[in-house]
Amino acid sequence: MSPKFSPLSTTLFTCLIATSLTTHANTTLLAPVVVTADLREEAEQNLPASIEVTTQSELQDQGVMHFDDILLKTANVNVSGQSSRARHIQIRGIGQRDEYTGAPNASVGFTIDDMDFSGIAMTANLFDIKQVEVLKGPQNIRFGQSAIAGLINLQTNEPTPYQEGMVEATIGQDNQRELGVMSSGALGDQKNAPQYRIALFKHNSDGFRRNATLNRNDTNARDEQMLRAKLRFFPSQDAQIDVTLLHSDLNNGYDAWARDNRFTTYSNQPGKDTQLSNGLSIKATSTANPNYQLIAKTSLVNSDMLYSYDEDWTSASNGTYLNKKHRRTLSQELRWISTPQSRIANQIDWLFGLYASKLDERNKTEYWGNSASDFTLVKTAAFTQFDYHLSPKSTITIGARAEQNSSDFSNSANENDSPEEALWGGNLAYRYTFNPNYTAFAGITRGYKAGGFNTGQPSGTAEQYLKYQDETLINYEIGLKSHRPELGLKTNISAFYMDRIDPQFDGYTYDPSSFTNWVFYTENFDSAQNYGIEADFNWQLNNQFTAYGSLGLLQTSVSGTPLNSAFTVDGREQAHAPTYQINLGTTYRASNGWYAQADITALDRFYFDNVHNAQSNNYRLINARIGFEDKDYEIYLWAKNLTDETYATRGYNFDFNAPYTNPTTYVRLGDPRQFGVTSRVYF
């Protein structure tokens, strides 16, 4: 298949290449960014992979309040609007899109301070976040089988040895009200006194929907709160212990669908989309042995979720789809990292690690009858990485991970299974540093994703819809990174090709033998290919102006016969994989405190699923803000979706009535235009 990128996206890509080689003069320095999600904490410039990092200052400049607000600004990252907050994420066209298949089997890893929220990322509030790291392509060496498409890591701000605090407040249309409070400091005056950081955030809004049946404006409302506490201890001069506690309570409504695809809904049983998560992570670091650094990471996350909606989206019946989940994840990792004096032959840095986790999930679904399932997954793994420094400029990196998955599954239909899978991945990368300003890399990675169960199926569901096989992905990638502090310029450009074997996709079909007629499942196709280009830049033009942007170009295809035999996808583009994704923005910061910012995000159209031809429209979103900044306070007037663009984030194609032969496309609309005011006070 030949690439079919738009003229606009191709022109922008050419400009990005030219920008990476420019020599305009500027003395403003861009601080290097350290990526914490890698096996070694390493500067972004040195990592031989496609990574996009957004720092706290960039998040605040753009007015980003939740992970939802930054997703589409990231090259080749998309999201399915199947929930009240971003939960189902796609990177490079790979990822889940809905909530119906049951057992957790994420393609995109998602962590917050080492706590695993893969597949349940709704808790990703960005208040007091240090940086958002998006690692694209298979990250199985780093994170195991839940990261075949990539890994997203939210790193929160660290405790400080000095006292600081901040209060943030927002009011906006849609009855939006937000309040955030942060405090950080030391618990004593001693040199190695423990340090703390506490962040509290509350969000309320009505949800941009009017329910005409109930005459209410809040059936799609958001009611969210987050409490995060971090403690840092220094048991000795060679040891550090970091403890993070997280409480997140999202009690959101879910009434987002209407048969006429508008913002007015007609349901008489509006749904809910809730997530109550409590998490703990402990990171202990020891440098007592001069030959290695030992890092031990322990995490525990408990989440209770409820997802429901009106069955027919009208007042004609009282039917409701309802799913309850309880998930508990416990993990332990040990990592030994070499020091300069323990290099092998004075040329090879080494790293070894062990990992174990246990995930328990209970599902109960009520929809024209009840079904329930229990799922347990135990994972054990060993991983290693060697960095061979051929010369001061060139390095070869070799990594591998072996993983054993043991599952236990049972449901209310008396179906039981206890499979075991041995999985492995590896990577080989070459990095060449031309000089401190330019680094090129090339690599090949073998990624993997385990097979699994479609646990949410009703009694009588055919065997073919219940299981799916593991997937293998081979990723080829090359890239160039530049960091020109004297110019205030940083760029990243990479090209990739991913060959997927037995690829897993979400699907649904009408099956008259099923109790509910409609069956949702994960299935395997024969093969799929995903390839494209990713680029981003950040340019401090002078003391007042900064320009930034990203570009994702993506081509995809899939081959095979779907379980929905009435539809074929042989050679067609994959779902939720737009061929271009562009973000361009600029900020202006005057010496007297005035501030302005604007950005535009553009996405090409994409298929909603692999079982029909319904597509979104291409669309553009413009955000802007103006304000005033002082040392101790800031205030901004902002607008989201300034042109009030109508766009869809999820869609289905089906008929509500038997014999289901006259399907209609139904879409879930993204949020309309919104104005608001945000202020911060520092102390």
- Going from N- to C-terminal start, the domains of the chain cover 7-682
User: Over 70: is that where the pLDDT of 2 sits?
Assistant: no
pLDDT at 244: 98
* Mean pLDDT, residues 188-195 taken together: 92
Percentage of residues in the chain with pLDDT exceeding 90? Answer: 75
Nearest to 198 by CA among 254, 236, 244: 244
User: Over 90: is that where the pLDDT of 7 sits?
Assistant: no
Instruction: With cut-offs at 50, 70 and 90, classify the pLDDT of residue 447.
Output: very high
Nearest to 337 by CA among 291, 383, 284: 291
* Mean pLDDT, residues 533-559 taken together: 95
Average pLDDT in the chain: 91
pLDDT at 566: 67
CA distances from 323 to 101, 340, 362 (A): 11, 52, 10
User: Over 60: is that where the pLDDT of 9 sits?
Assistant: no
* Mean pLDDT, residues 549-575 taken together: 87
Span of 271-275, 349-353, 521-525 with lowest mean pLDDT: 521-525
> Phi and psi dihedrals of 68, rounded to 5?
-50, -40
pLDDT at 388: 97
Cis bond before residue 659 (omega within 30° of 0): yes
pLDDT at 520: 81
More confident residue, 554 or 663: 554
Instruction: With cut-offs at 50, 70 and 90, classify the pLDDT of residue 424.
Output: very high
- Specify the length of the chain in residues: 683
User: Over 70: is that where the pLDDT of 17 sits?
Assistant: no
Distance between CA atoms of 237 and 429, rounded to whole angstroms?
36
pLDDT at 565: 66
User: Over 50: is that where the pLDDT of 266 sits?
Assistant: yes
User: Over 80: is that where the pLDDT of 276 sits?
Assistant: yes
Q: Could you report the per-residue pLDDT of 583-605, keeping only the tens digit for each?
A: 999 999 999 999 999 999 999 99
User: Over 90: is that where the pLDDT of 191 sits?
Assistant: no
Strands (E), 258-393: 264-265, 271-286, 292-310, 320-338, 348-366, 370-389
User: Over 70: is that where the pLDDT of 102 sits?
Assistant: no
Q: Could you report the per-residue pLDDT of 620-662, keeping only the tens digit for each?
A: 999 999 999 999 999 999 999 999 999 999 999 888 877 777 8
Cβ atoms of 90 and 77 closer than 8 Å: yes
CA distances from 74 to 89, 91, 581 (A): 12, 9, 8
Q: Could you report the per-residue pLDDT of 53-84, keeping only the tens digit for each?
A: 999 999 999 999 898 899 999 999 999 989 99
* Mean pLDDT, residues 541-554 taken together: 96
Cβ atoms of 118 and 106 closer than 8 Å: yes
Instruction: With cut-offs at 50, 70 and 90, classify the pLDDT of residue 28.
Output: very low
Q: Which two tokens stand for residue 461?
A: 């569901």
| Helix or strand holding residue 583 (H, E) | strand 580-589
pLDDT at 370: 81
Distance between CA atoms of 118 and 147, rounded to whole angstroms?
9
User: Over 90: is that where the pLDDT of 411 sits?
Assistant: no
* Mean pLDDT, residues 181-210 taken together: 96
* Mean pLDDT, residues 596-616 taken together: 94
DSSP conformation class of 287: -
pLDDT at 498: 98
Q: What is the largest CA-CA distance in the chain?
A: 75
Q: How many CA atoms lie within 13 A of 16 on its CB side?
A: 29
DSSP conformation class of 342: G
Q: Could you report the per-residue pLDDT of 450-504, keeping only the tens digit for each?
A: 988 877 666 667 777 888 899 999 999 999 999 998 899 999 999 999 999 999 9
pLDDT at 19: 43
pLDDT at 513: 64
> Do the bridges between strand 264-265 and strand 210-211 make them parallel or antiparallel, or are there none, so unpaired?
parallel
* Mean pLDDT, residues 606-622 taken together: 93
> Phi and psi dihedrals of 642, rounded to 5?
-55, -35
CA distances from 361 to 280, 328, 509 (A): 18, 6, 26
Query: Which residues, 6+ apart, have CB-to-CB distance to 550 below 8 Å?
Result: 52, 73, 74, 75, 534, 535, 536, 537, 581, 582, 583
More confident residue, 514 or 66: 66
Query: Top-level CATH class of 7-682?
Result: mainly beta
pLDDT at 610: 85
CB atoms within 10 A of CB 399: 21
* Mean pLDDT, residues 298-318 taken together: 95
User: Over 50: is that where the pLDDT of 336 sits?
Assistant: yes
> Do the bridges between strand 420-435 and strand 438-449 make them parallel or antiparallel, or are there none, so unpaired?
antiparallel
Residue type for 277, please?
Answer: S
pLDDT at 497: 98
Instruction: With cut-offs at 50, 70 and 90, classify the pLDDT of residue 20.
Output: very low
User: Over 90: is that where the pLDDT of 324 sits?
Assistant: yes
pLDDT at 15: 47
* Mean pLDDT, residues 268-276 taken together: 97
Span of 37-46, 409-418, 435-444, 565-574 with lowest mean pLDDT: 565-574
pLDDT at 639: 97
Q: Which two tokens stand for residue 212?
A: 């005409």
Which of 12-21, 357-366, 424-433, 563-572 tops mean pLDDT?
A: 424-433
Distance between CA atoms of 654 and 567, rounded to whole angstroms?
13
Position of tokens 């802007």? 624
Q: Could you tell me the pTM of the whole model?
A: 0.93
